[in-house]
Structure 1
């Protein structure tokens, strides 16, 4: 596969991954599909949601590079050695964005959601992150693998499952983005040295046979 075609594949592949990160980050703002948790500056939302790892890192910082990277695979102002060099810079921006998304989503999974817990006497307690300390105790099993502890969170209902699924989707999509952007860095380097090998699809009018 020539460098131009590789750029098209990378560019097209980044679009659905970026949209997945954006949609998942937006959905994380509405646990239990309720808008009340967004009010008050999102003080009742899991802190990692407000870091916008999926919206900014895996979303905006990937969509912009994807536009240029895809353009280098077509004939035109970007389908040349200079365009390939710029695609390396854009791909590095994508690498930074995907690394940010991976870091935030991983933290969201490790730290667990912000929720209202139930006290031992059965009454509703304060809001906090009850699973935050689990990663500090190496001998204690993570809540991710101990689903019996998920009932600790009472409000928002089902927030643990909600966060685990969506943060996992962001993490998976961001890892694929990181892989594709890394491929484009190497592809852009070869494109600078060897060209894009884009073939002209339109024939010269002067060569048209009558």
Structure 2
């Protein structure tokens, strides 16, 4: 008999479950989950191979067990969200990041990822709120200011979006991404581009 019981009826992490929820295995499961997902955390938006998807799904499965054992482990929810990003599953990523953020509101990285998935799903109002909360933690971080500008752009608040992106550029004049965001906002304001409804629209 294996060390722990797995229901292996599907490749989907939502349908494959670890049933051995002994608290003594919390750290073991957490480490295994992190090790499986970590290599793919920077691949958001890129296609991964079926074997890689299996590794990510297995990682999510381990971390599902972790959050059942310890529902206050915000980091496990966050890493699950990164796993779902690697699988290009924005809705599941949003759910995990929202769970993480409900526990940990003092880490801008948690807020940042939740904001991105809000914008991926067209939840612009929530994205703006989360972006403002993240910025309140680090008011001088140009990336967080730019994130707020993006959220405001998708919300349709073009004037404040321009104000915020100009602020981001003043904080870091060398950041080319911020300059590109400013150009995008100007094109929307002038009618050269359709107003984006989601984060994905910005990539078109």
For the aligned pair, the TM-score class normalised by the smaller chain equals under 0.3
TM-score if structure 1 supplies the norm length?
0.24
Q: Which has the larger radius of gyration?
A: 1
TM-score if structure 2 supplies the norm length?
0.24
Greater relative contact order structure (CA < 8 Å, 6+ sep): 1
